[in-house]
């Protein structure tokens, strides 16, 4: 493997410079497969899709990639079932939207229809053309760029259509969206959660002064849960020091693959639940292609994904983690964009800072749902 020549971040950068993105699952495979990486590098830029998926890798190698024991068994039929399951689940949300009047399936469309609605999964979206599918067929619609700019492949949407000349045009898009929460979920007693990421103890830019201010603060707090959203250090000894430094608190590591022996880590993303409060916690790297594609701020991109009821529509292999059948109360991400905190219909969205230039983080009291900004600069 390219362990000594190219770390994962450089692989991600390599593809991003070519306008492509790899999700974490596929990244792990590329990282451990020299032949595959060389084959991808040999492709012309125009031959690389915007999202390098497992399906693309499978087609490239003309066989399924051994992504894991579970994914090894996935066939084209399995992938189809994943999409149908997603389509059916979101359709049940959309079907009750009042704007979707005269709802028909794709195979019931006809040239004579003037105004109708469809529910389908986006298979492609260009500047002025939208293609969607349902279980009966494929529809190709014209669309204004103002509507299409917030879409992505593989999301399920409702479309209000009107006949314009000899074509049917998408004039309004309906998203499953999230309802406004009538009651904000809280724990019975105070429960402090602190979200931290991107400490980068092994970096030349690591600011020891910031870190010492953090230690002074954190060890004055009552015992709390610390969510570590990636990037403490590539050195296990640094992570061991961090664990010792905050040992009075409970620590939840997310997305780390180099933890000291005996330290439990969690796959990225993690869905954590306590007393009815649901926390979605992630490094957040999967957000980057959506932010770039839509030319949005990081928090705007997350809100756009919440409206789709799916935080990563192009990742079919981690459906259970990203599909929002029930809505999280808190979404916490690592250092993607500037540190921030916002709220969307009762869901708190936070982004962490870093210990190289902007050490701004958030603490949330689950007993009151109050969010505190902690600045260690």
Write down the pLDDT at residue 28.
73
Write down the pLDDT at residue 60.
67
Q: Does domain 192-375 have CATH number 3.60.21.50?
A: yes
Write down the pLDDT at residue 62.
46
Write down the pLDDT at residue 316.
73
HSE, CB side, 13 Å, CA atoms: give it for residue 187.
17
Q: Does domain 82-174 have CATH number 3.40.50.970?
A: no
Sorting pLDDT into bands at 50, 70 and 90, what band is 11? Answer: confident
**Range ranked top by mean pLDDT from 7-16, 62-71, 259-268:** 259-268
Sorting pLDDT into bands at 50, 70 and 90, what band is 321? Answer: confident
Write down the pLDDT at residue 29.
76
Average confidence (pLDDT) over 349-358: 97
Average confidence (pLDDT) over 319-347: 92
User: Is the pLDDT assigned to residue 4 strictly greater than 50?
Assistant: no
Percent of the chain with pLDDT over 90: 64
User: Is the pLDDT assigned to residue 185 strictly greater than 90?
Assistant: yes
Sorting pLDDT into bands at 50, 70 and 90, what band is 127? Answer: confident
Sheet holding 360-365, edge to edge: 265-266, 250-254, 225-228, 192-196, 360-365, 370-375
What are the residue ranges spanned by the domains of the chain? 8-74, 82-174, 192-375
Helix (H, G, I), strand (E, B) or coil at 124: strand
| Beta strand 360-365 pairing with 347-351 | unpaired
Topology agreement, domain 82-174 and domain 192-375: no
Percent of the chain with pLDDT over 70: 90
The alpha carbon of residue 281 and the mean position of all alpha carbons in its chain are separated, in whole angstroms, by 10
Write down the pLDDT at residue 258.
82
What is the full DSSP assignment across 205-248?
A: T--HHHHHHHHHHHTTSPS-EEEE-S-S-S-HHHHHHHHHHTTT
Write down the pLDDT at residue 46.
64
Average confidence (pLDDT) over 31-54: 74
pLDDT digits (tens, 9 = 90+) for 268-305: 999 999 999 999 999 999 999 999 999 999 999 999 99
> Closest Cα partner for 286 from 28, 21, 13?
21
């Amino acid at each position: 493997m390219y362990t000594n020549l190219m770390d994962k971040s450089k692989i991600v950068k390599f593809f991003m410079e070519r306008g492509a993105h790899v999700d974490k699952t596929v990244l792990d495979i590329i990282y451990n497969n020299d032949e595959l990486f060389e084959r991808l590098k040999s492709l012309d830029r125009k031959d690389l899709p915007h999202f390098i998926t497992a399906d693309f890798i499978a087609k490239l190698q003309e066989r399924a990639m051994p992504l894991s024991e579970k994914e090894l068994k996935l066939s084209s039929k399995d992938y189809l079932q994943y999409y149908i399951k997603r389509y059916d689940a979101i359709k049940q949300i959309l079907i009750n939207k009042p704007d979707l009047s005269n709802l028909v399936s794709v195979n019931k469309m006809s040239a004579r229809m003037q105004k109708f609605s469809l529910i389908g999964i986006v298979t492609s979206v260009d500047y002025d053309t939208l293609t969607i599918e349902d279980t009966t067929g494929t529809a190709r619609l014209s669309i204004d760029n103002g509507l299409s700019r917030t879409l992505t492949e593989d999301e399920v949407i409702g479309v209000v259509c009107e006949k314009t000349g000899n074509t049917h045009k998408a004039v309004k898009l309906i998203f499953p969206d999230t309802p406004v929460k009538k009651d904000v979920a809280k724990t019975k007693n105070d429960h402090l959660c602190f979200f931290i990421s991107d400490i980068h103890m092994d970096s030349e830019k690591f600011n020891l002064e910031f870190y010492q201010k953090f230690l002074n603060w954190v060890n004055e707090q009552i015992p709390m849960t610390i969510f570590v959203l990636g990037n403490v250090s590539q050195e296990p000894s640094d992570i061991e020091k961090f664990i010792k430094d905050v040992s009075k608190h409970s620590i939840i590591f997310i997305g780390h693959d180099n933890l000291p022996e005996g330290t439990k880590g969690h796959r990225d993303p993690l869905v954590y639940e306590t007393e009815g409060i649901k926390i979605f916690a992630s490094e957040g790297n999967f957000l980057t292609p959506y932010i770039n594609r839509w030319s949005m701020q990081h928090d705007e991109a997350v809100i756009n994904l919440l409206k789709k009821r799916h935080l990563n529509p192009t990742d079919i292999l981690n459906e259970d983690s990203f599909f929002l059948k029930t809505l999280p109360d808190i979404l916490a991400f690592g250092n993607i964009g500037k540190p921030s905190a916002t709220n969307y219909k009762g869901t708190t969205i936070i982004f962490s800072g870093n210990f190289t230039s902007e050490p701004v983080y958030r603490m949330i009291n689950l007993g009151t749902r109050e969010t505190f900004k902690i600045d260690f600069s």
